[in-house]
Structure 1
């Protein structure tokens, strides 16, 4: 069995859509966003409200390895505590993330001024991914970035979302990640993160600078062996 089974039969799916994205997905986003330059300039945190093990957050947390000026606070929350604290012990000098248990859709305010970056659930409740996106847009102080299967872009249901809130950019991952269910990673071993079969993209909104309809940029993020070719989003606009 390959690692990517998030789009398989419901009998094999995780009941809460807990699928673990490979950390390079968020690292490519961080590179495209200039190591979260806008967030650092505004003194904002990064909040992942469905953080699972914390892979997406780790790409922001490890920012500090570039130097003091790159430090950014990271906050995670989720319905269930599956957080991998050991992954954040690699650099003991760095400030540990903050974590709390919560249903994101019931949160009336962000835990701090922040941008919201996440790999949201998208099927265990009908319309939940769109609900996440819309709610994030009301709580974020700067950007909302969600990682979704590329096919999610093309839908009558999403037409209204993208009409109401045109994204600033869609960043297509040109290398397919594997997204195994978090509760089966140990049993799958090396197969867990191999053989990705689904195309994914980051959908990016800047709530501080709303995008005009028809002005969404489409950007292709290179395969990992060509990662040095990534251009910053600000340069592309």
Structure 2
């Protein structure tokens, strides 16, 4: 599999291109991915640090980069050229790609399709970050009947996501959770990611690495 990113290898702010609104680009706050890794991926899913992880809706790298802080091999791709990772349609024809894990925050309208593809291509398992309302409807019922989740992990605190950007001081009324599948494992009861992760796992350089740059002033402005 190609496209693995050593930690810190890509500049998230480089080559930024705006996606069509239909792509539902809502970047994941870096602290939320770190909380998933610490409380779910490592201790519960049993992900090993040397295993391959694929983030197929990477956007500008807001999830892939925090994953690469822990996992040695992280591949990132997206259907739109955001300037980060490989340009590829996760739901289209793909080469023989068999990562150990697929972790992603999929576009809401195609979340079920992302889940089915992730379960198919991942050797050990997959996890999708979704709104809790995503768990409902007949389509999800059919998915969960065919592929019962190993675990649903709810965030105790809110995870602010904003269209097209990450807001370090943002807020939201929307709840999120991780729906996780582990091949060959019996389903277990849901769990809750404990509170306080936003404050504890936000790093001093996150705003520089992941936030939008301030607009440059025009020449001749100011004193």
1:43-62 deviation per Cα after TM superposition (whole angstroms, max 9, x unaligned)? 53110001011121122211
Measured in 1, the distance between the counterparts of 2:43 and 2:65 equals 12
Aligned residue in 1 for 2:12 = none
Matches within 5 A, 1:1-237: 14-31=21-38, 32-34=40-42, 38-40=46-48, 43-63=50-70, 71-83=71-83, 99-109=85-95, 111-123=97-109, 128-182=110-164, 193-207=169-183, 209-211=184-186, 215-224=187-196
TM-score, structure 2 as length reference? 0.72
Kindly tell me: are residues 109 and 139 of structure 1, through their superposed partners in 2, closer, same or farther at Cα, counting changes over 3 Å? farther
1:80-118 deviation per Cα after TM superposition (whole angstroms, max 9, x unaligned)? 12245xxxxxxxxxxxxxx31111001434545330000
Kindly tell me: are residues 28 and 107 of structure 1, through their superposed partners in 2, closer, same or farther at Cα, counting changes over 3 Å? farther
Gapped regions of structure 2 (runs ≥ 5): 1-19, 201-223
Kindly tell me: are residues 157 and 58 of structure 1, through their superposed partners in 2, closer, same or farther at Cα, counting changes over 3 Å? same
* More helix, by proportion: 1
Measured in 1, the distance between the counterparts of 2:143 and 2:132 equals 15
Paired residues of 1:113 and 1:141 also in contact (CA < 8 A):
yes
Deviates more, 1:196-205 or 1:27-36: 27-36
Kindly tell me: are residues 147 and 37 of structure 1, through their superposed partners in 2, closer, same or farther at Cα, counting changes over 3 Å? closer
Aligned pair count? 180
SS in structure 2 of the partner of residue 74 of structure 1: strand
Aligned residue in 2 for 1:89 = none
Deviates more, 1:140-149 or 1:26-35: 26-35
Kindly tell me: are residues 225 and 135 of structure 1, through their superposed partners in 2, closer, same or farther at Cα, counting changes over 3 Å? closer
1:174-200 deviation per Cα after TM superposition (whole angstroms, max 9, x unaligned)? 111111112x55xxxx6x641111000
Measured in 1, the distance between the counterparts of 2:196 and 2:135 equals 23
